[in-house]
Structure 1
Amino acid sequence: MLLSEPYPQPELPRDFVGSSPVFLEALALIRRFAPSRAPLLITGESGTGKELAALAAHALSERRGGPFIPVNCGALPDTLVESEFFGHAKGAFTDAIRARQGLVRDSEGGTLFLDEIEALSPRGQVSLLRFLQDASFRSLGEEQRRHGNARVVAASNVDLRELADRGVFRADLLFRLDVLSIRMPPLRERPDDLGPLAAHLLAKAAQREGGKPKRLAQAASDLLPSHPWPGNVRELEHVLLRAHLLSTGPRIEADDLRRCCAALGSAPDGGAPVDIGVLRREKQFAVREVERRFVERALAQANGNISEAARLCKMERATLSRLAKKYRAGAPLPA
């Protein structure tokens, strides 16, 4: 059931494209919760637009004039997590050659967005819990307690309640974060949005890469619902970007899509000529995707601890650390 809005609906970002009921319900919740100062938890599979939802909640709030600070929790070093959050005074520890104000103060008057909150180390979870309890904190090396005015918005692509039941994630922190919650629906629950979303993403591809926007031929458009899109909007965007770059005409044909997404099937005999360059690019992209997902799962299971993740994976720590640095910013686009 959709939430009714008794007041004029503020404008949402243009990248929110779709009219399916489950998607419109998520947008209604963003509008409803944006003015609140309470913590907000955004859940959903990878690629569903959780950071975009957090940005929208910030832009629609009274904090829109303040900073929006995104943080990847899996990238926070466990030994320095308090310093990362709350800052430190000069000389507070060996490497503290200058004072640092920390993420909470960086977010003063705005929004602190904690992405992949499940990857926050146990030490980091304790530090965040203390701040959420009364919004006060003390920088390392300082005696003065400060009051922070930053709204915390967290996001996760896993079931935090299950992690809490297993003792991997603090239940008391989950209760503090899950005051208000929004679930961003996966693309497979929005089949009617595939067409409008594809047109929007092709226009973005043309703007980014140059040239006129291409459109999907009817046969190509008919292929889209045949794939469950486990990578959601991000996966669709990557496929359409490749199709924009590889197709030679003003339209993207079904064979073009098949070459750009193996899950949509192989081109039939007598189709477009085989291009070995396409194969190489697809193999490179597939390897990157597998590596990225492997790193994400390993760090999530190890609560963001590189050493523990390497032990679980039976890998050298340096090797996993290089992969983590390579992929923590998100999936790379194809070359």
Structure 2
Amino acid sequence: MLGQSTAIQAVRAQLQRYASCDVQVLIEGETGTGKELAAREIHYASARRDHPFVPVNCGAIPDSLIENELFGHDRGAFTDARAAQPGLIDHARGGTLFLDEVDALSDKGQVTLLRFLQDNEYRPVGGGAARVSDARIIAATNAGLEQQVASGHFRRDLHYRLNALYLRLPPLRERDGDVAELAAHFIRLVAVRLRGPDKSWGADAMQALLGYAWPGNVRELENVALRAYVCTEGSVVGAAELLAAEPAFAGTASAPRRRANEPDLGFSAAKLHAIRKFEHDYLTRLMQQAGGNVSAAARLSGTERRQLGKLLLKHGIETKRFRSH
């Protein structure tokens, strides 16, 4: 999970701790914040890393098939059951079963899952003897389950079972400084994916990205990078190309963040905004003066080359656009 903000560093530390605790985890976060990515980081940092990670979208399982999907069925369990079929829990044996959109489970689905979590026992549809699963359960939701419980839409006893460990993923608007790094990362990934030339963000486009509220979070940023890359003929994605790719950046539809000079902006947020703007403007002038040479820029600014490289990456500043051809 890329980013150097305080919020995402705290999440990474929490993921490492949870990887060593072999119990259920509940991950909550807005759409596009990377809940499955977080679940995968827990799995692959744990002792279960050599066993399967099995994701399932709970909202896509029909109510009538919930037991069959989770537990599988034996031969002859129903008319078309010509052979035994393992369920998702069997596929996740020794590994992790990731239940995405767990809040979408019906009343029947919640009861089915709760019964399984009480003792990790289950029976395939049409089967006889009970079986025991050792799969770890990680659940995720973009709805606050506590509120769902209070409103009567989610069982409190199931919430307790799933919520042994809890993780909240911060939305992108709370990750100060991470937008530039992620935007630079995604534009590079698009070039590799499409086997096209490298492209970079222009200063005006980057300012627009930094001022956007990102209701779709990291997933939205990834999609914007793809569309902006495709809509750009040259090597630099400017504000015009960004607007052509994503009309939401025009006018008030972009839902911009509050600016640092607005009176209702808190001191800490205003300070972070001012620092970010200073760093970006300083680095841009520095690279112009150094002609895109990072070593020369490090000498001019009196900083270590490695540290300067991290700052350039953080602000999405591509050095090659400052080099004379």
TM-score category (smaller protein) = 0.7 to 0.9
Q: Does 1:139 align with 2:131?
A: no
The one-letter amino acid paired with 1:67 is: P
The counterpart of 1:150, out of the listed 119, 132, 135, is 135
Larger Rg, first or second structure (1 or 2): 2
Corresponding residue number in structure 2 for 1:87: 72
Gap regions ≥5 residues in structure 2: 252-325
For residues 222 and 119 of structure 1, the distance between their equivalents in structure 2, rounded to whole angstroms, comes to 38
Corresponding residue number in structure 1 for 2:188: 203
Tell me how far 1:68 sits from its aligned partner. Answer: 0.6
Deviations 1:90-141 (A, max 9, x none): 1112332321111111100000000111111211111111111111111121
Query: Equivalent residue of 1:153, what SS?
Result: strand
Q: Indicate conservation of the 8 Å contact 1:191/1:225, yes or no.
A: no
Q: Indicate conservation of the 8 Å contact 1:227/1:263, yes or no.
A: no
Corresponding residue number in structure 2 for 1:112: 97
Q: Indicate conservation of the 8 Å contact 1:89/1:139, yes or no.
A: yes
Query: Equivalent residue of 2:56, what SS?
Result: strand
Q: Percent identity?
A: 47
Tell me how far 1:225 sits from its aligned partner. Answer: 2.1
Deviates more, 1:92-101 or 1:25-34: 92-101
For residues 43 and 194 of structure 1, the distance between their equivalents in structure 2, rounded to whole angstroms, comes to 21
The one-letter amino acid paired with 1:200 is: H
For residues 82 and 150 of structure 2, the distance between their equivalents in structure 1, rounded to whole angstroms, comes to 41
For residues 151 and 213 of structure 1, the distance between their equivalents in structure 2, rounded to whole angstroms, comes to 41
The counterpart of 1:178, out of the listed 150, 163, 169, is 163
Equivalent residues in 2 for 1:1-335 (5 A)? 16-265=1-250
CA root-mean-square deviation: 1.1
Instruction: Report the number of matched residues.
Output: 251
Gap regions ≥5 residues in structure 1: 1-15, 267-335
In the superposition, the TM-score normalised over structure 2's length comes to 0.75
Query: Equivalent residue of 2:50, what SS?
Result: coil
For residues 196 and 77 of structure 2, the distance between their equivalents in structure 1, rounded to whole angstroms, comes to 54
The one-letter amino acid paired with 1:148 is: S
Q: Indicate conservation of the 8 Å contact 1:86/1:105, yes or no.
A: yes
For residues 174 and 33 of structure 1, the distance between their equivalents in structure 2, rounded to whole angstroms, comes to 18
The one-letter amino acid paired with 1:76 is: I
